[in-house]
Amino acid sequence: MKKRLLPMSMLLVVLLLGLSACGSSSPAAGQDSQVPQETAADAQETESLDQEEEETAEETEETKEPEQAVQGSTEMESAVAENDATAAAASEAESPAPKGNALAIYFSRVGNTDFPEGIDADSSASIRIDDNGLMGNAGQIAAWIAEEAGCETMEILTEETYPADYNETVDQAKQEQNEGFRPLLKADEKAVEDYETIYLVFPNWWGDLPMPVYSFLEAHNLAGKTVNVFVTHEGSRFSNTVGTIAELEPGADVREGLAIQGGSVSDSEQTVRQWVIDNKD
C-alpha cells in the first residue's frame, strides 16, 4: 500500500507542478496575445480613421479642385497680364511708337442706316455723297483727319441699323438715351488698344454722345492714349461730351478737337486738316 501511495503522491506532485506551470503560463500567453490583439484593433481603427480622413481629404480635395483651378488660372492670367504690361512698358520705353500710330474712329447715322435705293443728299439731312457713295458728316471729318494724320479710319457700327426716316431715328435715339440703352456693336475692324492717338468723331445726339459711342467706349480701355474729340452738330456744339468721355476713360488724355456744324462741314476741310497739323504730338 505504501509502495502504491508513493508513486501516487509523486504522480500528484507531478500533476500539481504541471498544473501550476500551466496556470502561470496561460494568462501570460493570453496577455501577450491580447496586447497585439488590442494593438491590432487599434491599428485597424486607426487605419479605418485614416482611411476616413483620407476619403474626407479626397472629398475636400475634389471640392477644392475647381476653386484651385479657377484661382490658378486667375493667378496665371494676372501674371501673364503683368508680364504683358511689363513687356509693353519695356517695348514702349525702348522703341517709341511711330508718329503715325493713330486711328480716326467715327460714328455716323449714315453708316448705321439702311437707306432705300436711290436716296440722294437732298432728301435726307446730313447725307453727303462722294466717290465712295453715301457719307455722313462725321465720316467726312474722319476721312480728312486720317489723310492729314497719315492713319486709317474705323467706323463704329451697330448690329441693328437705325430707321431710314430721320425723325424716327431722332425719336429712337431719345428713347435709347432715356433708357440708358447700349446698342450691340459689330466687331471692331482694328485693334483699337494698339493705337496711341485716337481721333473720335461723332454727331451730337440729344446734347450727348450717341448711345453706340457709349457702347464703344465702355468696351474699351483707352488709358494712356490721347483721345481728340470731334463733334458735328446743328447748334449744340460739344455739349458735355468731352467731359463725359474723360469720365468713361479716366486714364486717357481727352482733348477737345473741333465742333463743326453739319451745314458747314463741306467748308471745313482746311480747318480740320490744320487742327491735325497743329496738334500732332
Ligand X SMILES: Cc1cc2nc3c(=O)[nH]c(=O)nc-3n(C[C@H](O)[C@H](O)[C@H](O)COP(=O)(O)O)c2cc1C
All 3 cell numbers of residue 132? Answer: 465712295
Nearest approach, Cβ of residue 234 and ligand X (Å): 4
By the 8 A CB rule, do 210 and 203 touch? Answer: yes
Among 105, 124, 126, 144, binds ligand X (CB under 6 A): 126
End-to-end CA distance of the chain: 141
How many residues are listed for the chain in this entry?
281
Q: Are 199 and 103 in contact (CB under 8 A)?
A: yes
Q: What amino acid occupies position 216?
A: F
Nearest residue (CB) to ligand X, 37 versus 175? 175
Complex with ligand X: residue 195 or 205, whichever CB lies closer: 205
Neighbour tally for 268: CB within 10 Å: 19
Mark residues 84-123: x for contact with ligand X by CB under 6 A, - for none. Answer: ------------------------xxx-------------
Report if residue 137 touches ligand X, rule: CB under 6 A. yes
* Binder among 173, 200, 211, 245 for ligand X (CB under 6 A): 173
Residue type, 120: D
Task: Select the span of 14-22, 46-54, 76-84, 205-213 touching ligand X (CB under 6 A).
Answer: 205-213
Task: Return the range that interacts with ligand X (CB under 6 A); candidates 13-21, 145-153, 187-195, 197-205.
Answer: 197-205
Q: Does 164 bind ligand X (CB under 6 A)?
A: no
Least distance in Å: CB of 107 to ligand X? Answer: 7
d(CA 107, CA 200) in angstroms, rounded, equals 8
Asked whether position 136 contacts ligand X by CB under 6 A, the answer is yes
Query: Per the structure block, which three cell numbers stand in for 149?
Result: 494724320
DSSP string, 77-116: HHHHHHHHHHHHHHHHHHSPPPTT-EEEEE--TGGGB-PP
Nearest distance in Å: CB 235, ligand X: 4
Catalog residues that contact ligand X under the rule CB under 6 A: 108-110, 125-126, 136-138, 169-170, 173, 203-207, 232-236, 262
